[in-house]
Amino acid sequence: ATPTSIMAGTGRSAENGVLFKGGEHLENTRGLQTIVLDKTGTVTKGEPALTNVKVAPDFNEESVLAIVGAVEKNSEHPLAEAMVKGIEEKGISLRESEGFEALPGFGVRAFVDGDEVLVGTRKLMQTSSVPIGSASDEMSAFEKEGKTAMLIAIDGKYAGMIAVADTVKETSKAAIQRMHDLGLEVAMLTGDNQQTAEAIGKQVGIDRVIAEVVPEQKAEEIKKIQDQGKKVAMVGDGINDAPALAVADIGMAIGTGTDVAIESADITLMRGDLHSVADSVQLSTKTFRNIK
């Protein structure tokens, strides 16, 4: 390909909302073997909504939710926004909390009226020595539906669980099919639970699900695939995805995502759907078709 054809290629792709940071990235997109997609906000819309609440015996749903809302109000995580919105829509007024702490990949912690409150994963409960009894099985039922369920502990006791659901983007399945048609392997990488991730993965035809990965390990997972001799593209939208976007052979940021993700990536996908991933690969192949 001549400099002119590369310029023509990146220009044409810009018209379709695919912004290459430089012509070298167009060339580098050629020969990709594996596409790794972040789940939340990339495969899914990233707009979770509150779906279910269950409280343990001896706990009152309204008071538990007033406490959970008070804690989650401090978190910027999309899951937290969904919970707070859902709780407020039930007409429940939130309590006050203090000493908020985010535990990336696990959940959140704060104090309400002097009681420690935890909201998050099974592992969070385990490491905090909160016995959850049969709640894990109840949680699995939600996860098999593709929902993200979070456990609640108040003052060291299991108090209930809260589930939210995100929906897949209408275009994800067809776009992943196109990636398959281009001979690409498609994986999904997420901090979310394995069962939830598998349920979502199944809806859109993902080949391989890599779940329960804490944010600092996302880049590690990309390196592992590269160590298997694969040329890898990472597609993501969040701050959490930035290191993985930088490590990947090609990083693609969803244009509606965070600035940090866009800065770390080689390509910005302005359309915000996964068809742009297939478009990038197709365009690169076309532009460099006659080059060995």
In the complex, the residues that contact ligand ADP under the rule CB under 6 A are: 39-40, 72, 75, 77, 79-80, 105-108, 119-121, 148, 150, 190-192, 215, 238, 240
Residue 15 CB contacts under 8 Å (≥ 6 apart), including other chains: none
Sheet holding 232-236, edge to edge: 18-20, 267-269, 250-254, 232-236, 34-38, 185-189, 208-210
Q: How far is the CB of 100 from ligand ADP (least distance, A)?
A: 10
Considering only the stretches 51-59, 160-168, 232-240, 259-267, report the one whose residues sit in contact with Mg ion under the rule CB under 5 A.
232-240
Query: Which residue minimizes CB distance to Mg ion?
Result: 41
Q: How far is the CB of 12 from ligand ADP (least distance, A)?
A: 33
Q: Are 166 and 149 in contact (CB under 8 A)?
A: no
Considering only the stretches 36-44, 135-143, 165-173, 193-201, report the one whose residues sit in contact with Mg ion under the rule CB under 5 A.
36-44
Q: How far is the CB of 37 from ligand ADP (least distance, A)?
A: 11
Task: Identify whether 38 is a catalytic site residue.
Answer: yes
Q: Kindly state whether residue 40 participates in binding Mg ion, applying the rule CB under 5 A.
A: yes
Query: Which residue minimizes CB distance to ligand ADP?
Result: 191
- Beta bridge partner(s), residue 233: 35, 250
What sign does the CA torsion over 192, 196, 197, 203 have?
A: negative
Residue 115 CB contacts under 8 Å (≥ 6 apart), including other chains: 154, 155
Is the Cβ of residue 237 or residue 249 nearer to Mg ion in the bound state? Answer: 237
Give, as ranges, the residues between 58 and 97 that touch Mg ion (CB under 5 A): none
Angle (CA) 276 256 147, round 5°: 90
Q: Residue 190: which of ligand ADP, Mg ion, none does it interact with, CB under 5 to 8 A by kind?
A: ligand ADP
Considering only the stretches 12-20, 156-164, 234-242, 282-290, report the one whose residues sit in contact with Mg ion under the rule CB under 5 A.
234-242
| CB-count burial class (<10 Å; 0-12, 13-18, 19+) for 181 | exposed
Which residue in 38, 143, 192, 279 binds Mg ion (CB under 5 A)?
38
Query: In what helix (H) or strand (E) does residue 151 lie, and over which residues does it extend?
Result: strand 148-154
By annotation, the residues acting in catalysis are: 38
